[in-house]
Homo-oligomer: A and B are copies of this chain.
Amino acid sequence: MTATPWAPDPKLDLVLEREIDVPRELVWAAWTQAEHIPHWFTPAPWTVSHCEIDLRPGGMFSTTMRSPEGQDYPNIGCYLEVVPCQRLVWTDALLPGYRPAAEPFMSAMLLLDELPGGRTRYRAVAIHRDEAGRQRHEEMGFHQGWGTALDQLVAYAKQM
């Protein structure tokens, strides 16, 4: 079964693409093992106060982000595709077990390509319902937020 071809729509999607000096096996581990998430997932001074991962299609990807003031913001998503070290897809349009969610915002895709010298081409895509959703996410600071998280992931992975 071929994977879904990835063709971002510039009006609806946001993409972070970068080549990083981390082998993709470590990137995959950082994204898919709950104990690693708090070390990089939220740009400081925000933290991750809870993370639960059930890594399979239909399984739970739950993270709770805590603001510097101590307020918790839970987010529950559902994994859609899990192709180890290559491709991870999840959405908040569905709860675990594929139940439609009340307030869908986006699906997301992580695509990892192996590069020579233990490097990785890292692409993270946020897939929105409409242009307003994309714009809202951009204004919330998608590029800086996801970029800073990736900086943190790279720094953390070097000592994993």
Cβ 8 A contact of A100, one of B4, B82, B127 = B127
Chain B residues with CB under 8 A of A106: 100
B58 pairs with A99, CB closer than 8 A: no
Determine which of B98, B104, B129 lies in contact with A107 in the assembled complex, contact meaning CB atoms within 8 Å. Answer: B98
Q: Which residues of the partner chain B approach A3 to less than 8 Å between Cβ atoms?
A: 56-58
Closest Cβ neighbor of A1 among chain B residues: B56
Q: Shortest Cβ distance from A95 into chain B, in angstroms?
A: 9
Q: A94 and B94: CB pair below 8 A?
A: yes
A98–B63 Cα gap in the complex (Å)?
Answer: 20
B-contact 0/1 string along A1-31, CB 8 Å cutoff:
1111001000010000000000000000000
A residues within 8 Å of B by Cβ? 1-4, 7, 12, 56-59, 80-82, 89, 91, 93-94, 96-102, 104-107, 109, 127-130, 133
Apart from A4-B58, A4-B96, A98-B107, list 15 A-B contacts with CB within 8 A. A2-B56, A3-B57, A4-B56, A4-B59, A4-B98, A57-B80, A57-B81, A58-B89, A80-B80, A80-B98, A91-B100, A93-B93, A97-B127, A99-B107, A99-B127
